[in-house]
Structure 1
């Protein structure tokens, strides 16, 4: 007779960004390679991180939801094809194996989306006699306290400050409460969500939820207009972008985490759990290219709730339209690999970043031209956007912090000025489409005058490239977007020369810096991932397609094992740094793939 192993359970591994993401438009959760939930803010993206192990709580073990395998040897992990459902298999040294399937339920029911704040976990023995231990240890107040609990015959309640979690399970509750190891002889189910009694048998509900959630995601993917090449990468990026939209309001967050440093020990640790209008607009444009226009409609609902402010737009807002996002350092969390500080809130809300006006108008433009939409843009919608154009015209030559959010200086940034031009240019096109000839003339005159002025102030004939600002001669990677937004033709010698200059001065191997001049925190150390994709896209636009394709393939190989990207990429070893998953980075991947892919006709 086999005796249960007395070997200890394997210790937790060091934090990495080899993480998977699950979610459903209400919240998100990050899981490591062993299916341990290490980050999730509840009940929404901007909430208290009940699961905060990723940022190393100082005083308490926990902040995680782990299913540990005794004598752990290795793991395998992958998404179910074309879904946001994560499957992990843990193997022990004795021939035992356990399958863990994790997902957040999402499907259509009664004319609306069912998307509760719920993590569903199905745990199945695959071979041998695997012995597991379940540890569910949420913390409260940003890692300061353990959650108080109550329990019943089939459930445990975890009392968070503004939300009560309820675990419903068909495994012995005591085993969960006390972390008791046991042999997993048959499938067990765990439903962690809102504090409501489940009025039906748990196994049947889990099976139905898995089937319906699988069906939802595969149907969503089915209608994406994906390129011929790199389909899996594009689909994974598209699903990830969709998971970063908070559908209650339509806001799109920049990333699900806070304070993952841009480089080791750099203190460039920022809270990205908010809606940057610029980042969100990029997401909308990428999803629009794929035909997923509902995200645009939901984001514009969010925008129209903000655009009534007479004093203009902030760079970012809370997912609930909050305007104040005061920044604080959290003492109870040490930080990713102990690299603090951990910040809550983001002071960028007080900055002036005038490019947001162009971002919003660009994101809105398709609303007026896409005949697939049930509720296309109207004259009233156009009139809501016009005040944004007025701000853009008034501010395009006024210094701001720029899209890189410099904290210690302001300049008239070329990218800012060009995006303000884009606001007026697109308003002229929308007005002409709507038959508003007077308004079309008004906005066209403004846009044309702005363009002449920007070309005068931003072109440096002596250096043979555009400059990052009207007051400087230095380069930054945002200049790679001048052709993408239609400001200048990609064949224009000035744009080609600027791409060449950026390749010479900002590129290191396959990395591309945002800029190389020291800023408030010193010199940048890692490559900003979307800048790499901007460079790839620009190479293709100017005709260097083979070079762009080769570079694109190399960058795809730098994604984590699940095909996900963070904000930054280390130049030496290719390690991921910065907040995760980063919407900007996945936008860049999608847009580059769409430009570089061979056409479907070439495959037949």
Structure 2
């Protein structure tokens, strides 16, 4: 039986991440990178798909847990009949002393666990059961030079520990007893990685110290002290934990196929980097002082596009690769029998007009923050503007990547307008060369087209698409990107209509229109935060605060959020933890600091 998504904690090393359940079982881990095949996949099946557990015999009560302050190092406390023990989980990492340069982060390609008895005596059991290839391949475990080896087709790992193990096929078990003050350490590490030393159990405590220093040094640059300081810091740590530091790419989530609709088919692989996330991510990083990460994220964006001949697809892998062919894995039952389980993502093959505007807005945000635009970068931006000029009239799959027929989505057209607008501002505000006459004319044409075809005259609201008069939460982006003022009559009506039609129990749905897939989905936490931003802009701060508190109220005990919240089931749904949800929380908290200015205007005034 699947555990609630809320039961999981994230530990990571800015190369990959693991999900640790409240009961002490590691149920998801891809090695050596986020998008590598999982060696523990119980998250999407049963224990038979691979896990690594440490449990206390005859456990008393529910375990409690927390992160070591200002880190992603997890400490879980278990109670037995005659004592208490803690399990500390981490993926070790360290960096140079240059806190403004995120790239030298070194990963040991390891997952460490330290068990310590803090009171009385505790009996414990460790069960190590890796399954390579997303739970498909059971390895034969064997000892080599004192290490327990597990070898798959393209990966081998070693377990090093201080207890005796019994091996049964692809599973190793060990029982041990600890008294107060005693501890045992466990090291799981990828074999044969050049330049990475072999970690031993006696190295674990030092690794905890080193990793703690890393996380605290990194987070120490955040000076935000507002009402939601703790939640913002958690969101920033999560965002860092989802960053692939060798390139600066940020994955949408470390998981695949956690369902948007429990026991349904809306299950997608989010272990990739979406261009659409660029503007939001860059703005949040810059707003909170993480300029180095913002530079690396921008460089990843530019590098991914250059490496692929200037082509723009909606998402790439963490190294900028484009081969993300979607396939289904039939041997996994899926989370709570939600099938299919998918690897890869066919959205990479869609035409999504809005990403041009997202990317050019991100580049403009970087310029406003003082990051220089190299000549070849500007040539690339001009090429993208040219593509917008050629294709803005075409229907597309839109921000929500619909798998049904394409439409002329209003949000997509607005982002085409943004692409031209940011190009014009780059020329007029930063002295870069460009055909502003043509761009001005096209920007005006797009705007007039939207106002002629994208407004429901009967309701006085913006429409989801030219073909569909329904509502779409993506319309909340219109004032956030400067297309209209939030006090514009059509925009105010749209905000009111979204509250009336798309809000469920204090959370915002994306849309109600058919999208080519069966089933329903949960409310979208990102969209709820967009509503917060809009309400702040129109002066409804008390209402905005109530919506943001609702979002934060459904995070788990560690402050982590999934993509969606199912109000009927009262549960988080979708991939977890979700970068976009945490970016949106950090952005919404900052919206209260700008007191009603649009984010674009706020950033302009702050960075001039």
- Same fold, judged at TM 0.5 (above): yes
Counterpart of 2:217 in structure 1 is: 219
CA contact 1:24–1:106 (8 Å) conserved in 2: yes
Deviates more, 1:581-590 or 1:218-227: 218-227
For residues 490 and 197 of structure 2, what CA distance do their matches in structure 1 show? 67
Q: 1:144 aligns with which of 120, 136, 139?
A: 136
Moved more, 303-312 or 522-531: 303-312
Does 1:570 pair with 2:601?
Answer: no
Matched, 1:113 2:102: no
Q: Pick closer, same or farther for the CA change 1:379–1:245 going to 2, 3 Å.
A: same
> 1:27 aligned to 4, 10, 16, which one?
16
Match of 1:253 in 2: 251
SS at match of 2:467: coil
RMSD: 2.3
Deviation of 1:370 (Å): 2.2
Distance in 2, matches of 1:416 and 1:48, equals: 34
Per-residue CA shift, 1:182-207, capped at 9, x if unaligned? 21242111121122699788455222
Task: Check the 8 A contact 1:357/1:423 in 2, yes or no.
Answer: yes
2:120 to 122, 128, 147: 128
Deviates more, 1:215-224 or 1:190-199: 190-199
In 1, are the aligned partners of 2:90 and 2:113 still within 8 Å (CA)? yes
The aligned counterpart of 2:604 is none
Q: Does 1:167 align with 2:156?
A: no
1:366 counterpart residue number? 365
Task: Report the Cα distance in structure 1 between the residues aligned to 2:82 and 2:429, rounded to whole angstroms.
Answer: 67
1:153 to partner: Cα distance? 5.6
Partner residue, 1:323: 322
When residues 61 and 200 of structure 1 are mapped into structure 2, their CA distance, relative to the original with a 3 A threshold, is: closer
Q: Is the 8 A contact 1:315 1:351 kept in 2?
A: yes
Aligned to 1:30, the other structure's residue is in SS state: strand
1:415-564 superposed matches below 5 A: 415-436=411-432, 438-522=434-518, 524-564=520-560
Q: Tell me, yes or no, if the aligned pair for 1:315 and 1:356 is still in contact at 8 Å.
A: yes
Checking the alignment, whether the CA contact within 8 Å between 1:506 and 1:516 is kept in structure 2 is yes
> Does the residue aligned with 2:361 lie in a helix, a strand or coil?
helix
Alpha-carbon distance between aligned partners in 1 of 2:272 and 2:514, rounded to the nearest angstrom: 26
How many positions carry a matched residue from both structures? 582
Structure 1 gap segments, 5+ residues each: 1-11, 600-604
**CA separation of 1:494 and 1:280: change in aligned 2, threshold 3 A:** same
Give the 5 Å matches for 1:94-105: 94-105=81-92
- Distance verdict in 2 for CA 1:441–1:223, change over 3 Å: farther
Match of 1:420, SS state, is helix
State how far apart, in whole Å, the 1-side matches of 2:223 and 2:479 are: 23
Cα distance in 2 for residues equivalent to 1:68 and 1:280 = 41
1:184 aligned residue: 178
Inter-CA distance 306–344: structure 2 relative to 1 (3 Å threshold)? same
- The whole-number CA distance in structure 1 between the counterparts of 2:172 and 2:266 is 39
Deviation of residue 107 (structure 1)?
1.5
**Contact 2:417–2:443 under 8 Å retained in 1:** yes
Match of 2:57 in 1: 70
Aligned to 1:210: 208
Post-superposition CA distance 1:533-559 (Å, at most 9, x none): 111221111111111112211221111
Shift of 1:437: 5.8
After TM superposition, the structure 1 = structure 2 runs for residues 244-393 of structure 1, keeping only pairs within 5 Å, are 244-308=242-306, 309=308, 312-371=311-370, 376-393=372-389
What is the TM-score of this pair, normalised by structure 2? 0.90
For residues 493 and 365 of structure 1, the distance between their equivalents in structure 2, rounded to whole angstroms, comes to 28
Change in CA separation of 1:214 and 1:175 when aligned onto 2, cut-off 3 Å: farther
Task: Check if 1:61 corresponds to 2:60.
Answer: no
Q: 1:317/1:498 Cα in 2 relative to 1: closer, same or farther (>3 Å)? A: same
Q: In the TM superposition, what whole-angstrom CA distance separates every residue of 1:383-427 from its partner, at most 9, and x where no partner exists?
A: 221111111222222100111111121111111111111112112
Distance 1:477 1:278 in 2: 16
* Structure 1 equivalent of residue 580 of structure 2: 584
8 Å contact 1:428–1:442 — kept in the other structure? Answer: no
CA positional deviation for 1:597: 5.3
Distance across 2 between alignment mates of 1:304 and 1:311: 9
- Which is further off, 412-421 or 332-341? 332-341
State the distance in 1 between where 2:149 and 2:278 align: 36
- Find the aligned partners of 2:291 and 2:441 in 1 and give their Cα distance: 31
Report the secondary structure of 2:188's partner residue.
strand
How far 1:115 sits from its partner (Å)?
1.7
- 8 Å contact from structure 2 (residues 10, 20) kept in 1: yes
Moved more, 466-475 or 308-317: 308-317
| Structure 2: distance between partners of 1:406 and 1:196 | 42
> Residue 234 in 1 paired to residue 228 in 2?
no
C-alpha distance in 1 between matches for 2:352 and 2:271: 19
Give the 3-state SS of the residue equivalent to 1:146 in structure 2. coil
Whole-Å separation in 1 of the counterparts to 2:367 and 2:292: 14
2:206 match: secondary structure:
helix
The answer to whether the 8 Å contact 1:100/1:124 transfers is yes
1:393 touches 1:421 (CA, 8 Å); kept in 2? no
User: Does 289-298 or 29-38 show the bigger shift?
Assistant: 289-298
Quote the residue 1:3 is aligned against: none
Change (3 A) 1:39 1:210: same
Map Cα deviations across residues 300-356 of structure 1 (whole Å, 9 max, x no partner): 222222324567411112223332322221122101122222111111122111111
Distance (whole Å) between structure 1 residues aligned to residue 97 and residue 190 of structure 2: 20
Distance in 2 between residues matched to 1:201 and 1:440, nearest whole Å: 58
- Going from structure 1 to structure 2, the CA distance change for 1:283 and 1:574 (only over 3 Å counts) comes to farther
